[in-house]
Amino acid sequence: MKVTLTTVSFQVSDKMLEYATTSSPEAAALFGRSLLEKMDAGQEHVILLVVNAANAVTGFKVISSGGTDSAQVDPKLLFRSALTMGTGVSGLILIHNHPSGDPTPSAQDTALTNQLQAGSKILEFRFLDHVIIGNRGRSFSYREHGLLR
């Protein structure tokens, strides 16, 4: 049996991190879009951004890559990632794409958002946003639509 492992790495420029002060949903979407453009657009990908107290992105991790219309996210693994991504992590932003191009959230997207908000509160993280990236520059921000508690 032959097994091939593929490693994907991203190089994030200092300029990109400098811009990635996620003080707005547009900035988070732009950062997420720049990561997603390096990935297979036909698959749904879920990315966790971690930020410091000044909302500057200090790290990110691809949490899941799925099929054409979904990607599984295990909140326990997401929070474990957040807890082990270094010191100074105070906030979380979830970003994922919809390969269909329509950034309208699904019922599963909203259920996940609610779970992550509850978990973040317990762990004393600020859950800043869940941004869904579509095509033609479209995105959906739960924060911008007043859907975060």
Domain spans in the chain, listed from the N-terminal domain onward: 21-141
Q: pLDDT at position 22, please? A: 59
According to CATH, what is the number of the domain 21-141? 3.40.140.10
Q: pLDDT at position 87, please? A: 85
Reading the block at residue 40, the tokens are 């297979």
Burial 86-108 (b: 16+ CB within 10 A, else e): eeebebbbbbbbbbeeebebeee
Note the pTM of the prediction, 2 decimals. 0.85
Reading the block at residue 89, the tokens are 């992590």
- Do 99 and 2 touch, CB atoms closer than 8 A? no
| Series of mean pLDDT values for 10-residue runs along the chain (149 residues) | 41 48 80 91 96 91 95 97 93 96 98 98 97 95 94
- Residue matched to tokens 């950062």: 31
Q: pLDDT at position 7, please? A: 36
Going by the DSSP 8-state scheme, the letter that residue 44 receives in this structure is: -
